[in-house]
Amino acid sequence: MGPEKLWPDPVPDTYSLERSLRQKGYQWIAGLDEVGRGPLAGPVVAACVILQENCDNSCFVDSKTINAKNRTLLYQELKQNGAQISVGVVSETDIDRVNILQASLLAMKKAILTMPVQPDYLLVDGNQPVPISIPQQTLVRGESKSASIAAASIVAKVVRDDMMDQYHLQYPEYNFKQNRGYPTLAHRQAIMTYGPCAIHRKTFKCVKEFIGD
């Protein structure tokens, strides 16, 4: 066992990329992330966020690493602190029509186009650029590298979870409030028992097998 640490590990500066881009002349640097590529039901939701330059960005981390209550609090903090925020939603019907990758990129594009201020540079989570003529950089595991992407992941997660809570009221037998549409064992068993409902993705494995002629 090594010696006891006398100070905590330093918090990574996840705003350094945005700061560097500002120094190069970009003013409106947006982070983009999506939630909902893996579920069997419901939409894919993307968020676009431009953080205030002087905000405390250290609290914005990958939405998967914090609980629902803290995600909601951080979303409220973003709105109160003057962040520019927009959301793009692509339905399960369109996911079936164009495939989940294209639907995710379309959701991001929708979020960009409805921003209160149009970004002049994009930081995009993943390895696929958004089909739009704005300078951009893709970042695999971007939530851990960019506070703007992390903030977008929080917004997208809160918005999509709220939508799935509403769908739970319409289709309680699938327990969307708990599984959020993801392929848990209980969810897959519910599909086997009741068949797919209106918001299930008809082209996805574990759903398409149970669609009648």
Q: Is residue 99 part of a domain?
A: yes
Kindly state the percentage of the chain with pLDDT values over 70: 94
Kindly state the percentage of the chain with pLDDT values over 90: 82
Q: Is residue 197 part of a domain?
A: no
CA-CA-CA-CA torsion sign (159, 200, 183, 48): negative
C-alpha distances (whole Å) from 154 to each of 29, 33, 68 are 17, 9, 10
- Number of structural domains found in the chain: 1
Q: Is residue 62 part of a domain?
A: yes
Dist CA 48 CA 201 (whole Å): 24
β-pairing verdict for 84-90 and 121-125:
unpaired
CATH code where residue 58 lies: 3.30.420.10
Q: For the chain, what is the mean pLDDT?
A: 92
Q: Is residue 171 part of a domain?
A: no
Q: Is residue 183 part of a domain?
A: no
191-210 average pLDDT score: 97
Range of the structural domain that residue 79 is part of: 16-160
Q: Is residue 83 part of a domain?
A: yes
154-177 average pLDDT score: 98
pLDDT tens sequence across 123-149: 999 999 999 999 999 999 999 999 999
Q: Is residue 172 part of a domain?
A: no
